[in-house]
Amino acid sequence: MLESRGFMRENLTIMIDPFSDFLSLMGARSVISGGLVAGGAWAINFPRANTVKFWGVERGSCWILFEGDKDPIRIESGDVFLLCEPRSHVLGTDLNAESVDLADVLEGRVGNMVHHGDGDEFFMIGGKVELNIASSQLLLDALPPLIHVRGTSSQAQALRWLLDQLVQERQGAFPGAHIASNQLAHLMFIQILRAHFEAAGLQPAGWLRALGDRRLAPALQLMHDDPGRAWQLRELAQAAAMSRATFAAYFKTIAGMSPLSYLTKWRMHLAQRALLESRTHVNVLARSLGYASESAFSNAFRRVVGCSPKHFRAQAVDEVAT
């Protein structure tokens, strides 16, 4: 993994922005699940799901009431949701109506589309985001349980276009529609996150807030572009056009950690991915990430991850075997 990244950068001068790095690390892949057409008075029980789910409303309106909440949320045409935690919910135009389970509704599915109730005043299309198990919690811990981008918001225009394109792909039966739909779905997932960055205001200190901070972007780009280099605080501060003291204080305020702690944690996330996906020897991995010895790397890995690299790899093999 690390070797291929180096080859790309040396031969094609490709620059990968830090947030794209994180999405790649987590193996983020979006898949369209299907669409729901409904009409009349209806209510559907959606069970808890262990995946990140998203959906957009192409036409119509309804209500959604999440498990544990007292007040339902009004959904209008153009609204887009990203559900980041497993919560059951009821979706419908009349939440007092007799509700049916989603599994029963899906029995009438034709292809990827399902119809419920009388009429077709409401239409939404949804999907899920598949994440690498080892790294997914990094994203989920940084996001709120629910992101709701309203169709009337300033961030909704790009999402509306993507939603319209998804509908065309699903209804047009074009060649390559399956792949095109999933690519559009992934763009929608990224755009939802961008909308969250823009609209969320002051987020808690953490890596997600750091990735959305334009003042830190040049320094983060350096660390992500060459994680094995022994970056000095002076070099990173210069890239961000700040003094060392100002940069160090600002970085900690935004990221919740020092610049070099961030670099260490990013290296360990890369190491976990490499240990899971390749047979690279720990000593080789240590050198590629800037450590002079295997023991120095193992100590840093144990400090961040909680176990040695060899134990981490062996544990992952055992989990796959069982």
Q: In this structure, what CATH number is given to the domain that contains residue 46?
A: 2.60.120
What residues make up the domain containing 276? 208-321
Q: Are residues 34 and 149 in the same domain?
A: yes
Nearest to 263 by CA among 293, 235, 227: 227
- 204-242 pLDDT per residue, tens: 788 888 887 889 999 999 999 999 999 999 999 999 999
Which of 164-173, 199-208, 279-288, 303-312 shows the lowest mean pLDDT across its residues?
199-208
Co-location of 275 and 301 in the same domain: yes
281 vs 167: which has the higher pLDDT:
281
Longest dimension (CA), the chain: 68
Q: Of 152, 174, 199, which closes a domain?
A: 199
Query: What is the percentage of the chain residues whose pLDDT exceeds 70?
Result: 91
Q: What is the pLDDT of residues 131-179, one digit of tens each?
A: 876 667 777 777 888 899 999 888 788 888 988 888 888 777 788 888 8
What is the pLDDT at residue 51?
85
Same domain, 189 and 272: no
User: Which residues 6+ apart lie within 8 Å of 215 measured at CB?
Assistant: 240, 242, 250
Assess whether pLDDT exceeds 90 at residue 39: yes
Q: Which domain-ending residue is among 144, 174, 199?
A: 199
Mean pLDDT, residues 297-307 taken together = 94
Do 182 and 36 sit in the same domain of this protein? yes
CATH at 261: 1.10.10.60
pLDDT over threshold 90, residue 279 = no
Residues 228 and 299 in one domain: yes
- Verify that 66 and 188 share a domain, yes or no: yes
Query: Residue 38 domain-assigned?
Result: yes
| Residues 174 and 82 reside in one and the same domain | yes
